[in-house]
Amino acid sequence: MRLTKHEHAALEIVENGQRLFIDPGAFTTPITEAAATVAVVITHEHNDHWTPEQLRRILEQSPGARLFGPEGVVRAAAVEGVEVQRVDPGDEVEVGPYRLRFFGGSHAVIHPSIPVVDNVGVLVNDSLYYAGDSFVAPGVPVEVLAAPAAAPWMKISEAMDYVIAVSPRRAFPTHEMLLARAGKDLSNARLRWATEQGGGEYVALEPGDTLDI
């Protein structure tokens, strides 16, 4: 599999010429290359992880693509006339060359005044894991971890502890568009240290960079 990091939380995976997108949201440059997309996974309903415009761009080029998300995403997308298939923690789906396993269930708490929404993490082909906006670990070995670099629901010490707990072979930053360059450099240094505690390698991917898995 070849992974391409897009801005913020969006990931693109290509295997055997077929694409999978994860969380193409409002902080991500419009997706314009989406031919041969077989699936889109949306971890939760916040618009930095999906927008109807991003989904429509993908579906225009790949009308047969299947969309997956938790119940909150299903409801939000339905308002926009977009059909999303519900997935829950413990579900497994096979689509094209991808095996998708789902974990978690709830977004991390931002503040008691802000409702907690549905959130699922996804493990792709038993290799790449992205927890969405949560620190839920899959409880299985992870080859490549998308590690959150900054968010209203976290502090960097929590992300470091999460990376140490998952102990991936490789990790890279995600959810970082709220950071200036100095903030990205700081988060990268901390996440690199955490990854190396388990003997792993940290790859400081920037938008447009790729990683073979």
Q: What is the pLDDT of residue 124?
A: 98
What pLDDT was estimated at residue 67? 98
Beta strands in the chain (DSSP E): 2-5, 11-15, 18-22, 37-41, 66-69, 85-86, 92-95, 98-106, 118-124, 128-130, 144-148, 170-174, 201-202, 210-212
pLDDT at residue 85, as a whole number: 98
What's the farthest any 2 CA atoms get from each other in the chain?
46
Distances (CA, A) of 29 to 8, 51, 68, 110: 9, 12, 21, 25
List the chain domain ranges. Answer: 2-206
Tell me what pLDDT residue 39 has: 98
- pLDDT of amino acid 205: 98
The length of the chain is: 213
Distance of alpha carbon 69 from alpha carbon 74, whole angstroms: 6
* pLDDT value for 195: 98
Distance CA(120)–CA(90), nearest Å, equals 10
pLDDT at site 133: 98
Q: What is the DSSP letter of 7?
A: S
Query: Would you say the pTM of this structure is higher than 0.95?
Result: yes
Report H helices in 50-180: 52-61, 71-79, 156-166
Confidence (pLDDT) at 17 = 97
Query: What class does CATH assign to 2-206?
Result: alpha beta
Task: Tell me the mean pLDDT per 10 residues along the chain, length 213.
Answer: 98 98 97 97 98 97 98 97 97 98 97 97 98 97 98 97 98 97 97 98 98 97
